[in-house]
Chains A and B, each alone.
Chain A
Amino acid sequence: MFRTKDGKEIFVVDGHTHFWDGSPENQSNVHGKQFIDCFYAYHTNLSPPEQLWEKARFEKYSEDDVYRDLFIDGPDDVAIIQSTYLKDFYKNGFSSIERSSTMASRHPERFIVNGSFDPRDGEKALEYIHYMKENFDIQGVKMYTAEWNGESKGWALNDPAAYKCFELCDKLGIKNIHVHKGPTIIPLSMDAFDVRDVDYAATDFQNLNWIIEHCGLPRLDDFCWIATQETNVYGGLAVAMPFIFSRPRYFGEMMAELLFWIGEDKILFGSDYAIWTPQWLVEQFWEYQIPEDIAKERGVQLTDEIKEKILGLNAAALYDIDVEAKKAQLSASPVQIAAE
Chain B
Amino acid sequence: MFLEMHRDELELEIWQRLDLVTDPELDEPITDMGFVERVDVNTDSNLVEVEFRLPTYWCSPNFAFLMAFDIRHEIGKLSWVHKIKVTLNDHCFADRVNDGVNGGKDFIEVFSEYCNGDDLNSIRVKFLEKAFVRRQETVLLGLEASGFSGPRIVSMTLAQLDAIDFAGGEEEKQKPRYRELLLSQGLAKTSDDPAFVTWEGEQLTAAGLRDYLAQLRGVRINMEFNGALCRGLQSTRYKEVEIGEDGPTLIDFIQNRVPPRVSEARN
Contacts of A37 in B (CB 8 A): 57, 237, 259
User: Is A243 positioned at the interface, with any CB of B under 8 Å from its CB?
Assistant: yes
Instruction: Using known A-B contacts A217-B225, A220-B221, determine if residue A44 contacts B58 with beta carbons closer than 8 Å.
Output: no
- Which chain A residues border B259 with CB–CB below 8 Å? 30, 33-34, 37
Tell whether A63 is near chain B: CB-to-CB under 8 Å: no
B220 CB to nearest chain A CB (Å): 9
Do B58 and A218 have beta carbons less than 8 Å apart? no
B109-117, B164-172, B190-198: which lies at the interface: B109-117
Q: Please tell me which one of the listed residues A53, A54, A185, A190 contacts residue B92 in the complex, with CB atoms under 8 A apart.
A: A185
Q: Contact: B119 with A185, CB < 8 Å?
A: no
Chain A residues whose CB sits within 8 angstroms of the CB of B123 once the complex forms: 189-191
Interface of A is mostly: helix
B8 at the interface (CB under 8 A from A): no
- B221–A54 touching, CB < 8 Å: no
Q: How far is the CA of A54 from the CA of B219 in the complex (A)?
A: 36
Q: Does B265 contact A (CB under 8 A)?
A: yes
Which residue of chain B is the closest to A240 with respect to CB atoms?
A: B225
Give residues 21-55 of A contacting B (CB, 8 Å): 28-31, 33-35, 37-38, 40-42, 44-46, 49-55
For chain A, give the interface size range: 35 or more
Q: Nearest chain B CB to A94's CB is how many angstroms away?
A: 14
Query: A224 and B232: CB pair below 8 A?
Result: no
- Which of chain B's residues has its CB closest to A193's CB? B60
* B62 part of interface (Cβ distance < 8 Å): yes
Chain B residue with minimal CB distance to A215? Answer: B225
Indicate with 1 or 0, residue by residue over B160-182, a CB within 8 angstroms of chain A CB atoms: 00000000000000000000000
Task: Give chain B residues whose Cβ lies under 8 Å from the Cβ of A218.
Answer: 25, 222-223, 225-226
B42-50, B69-77, B239-247: which lies at the interface: B239-247
Known A-B contacts: A188-B115, A257-B218. Give 7 more (CB < 8 A).
Answer: A30-B261, A35-B57, A42-B229, A49-B247, A52-B241, A55-B241, A221-B215
Q: Can you give 21 contacting A-B residue pairs, CB < 8 Å?
A: A29-B264, A34-B57, A41-B55, A41-B232, A44-B241, A50-B248, A51-B248, A52-B248, A182-B58, A185-B93, A187-B115, A187-B116, A189-B122, A192-B60, A218-B222, A221-B219, A221-B222, A247-B228, A250-B221, A253-B217, A257-B218
Pick the 7 closest A-B CB pairs, nearest first: A45-B232, A29-B264, A221-B218, A34-B57, A52-B248, A189-B115, A189-B118
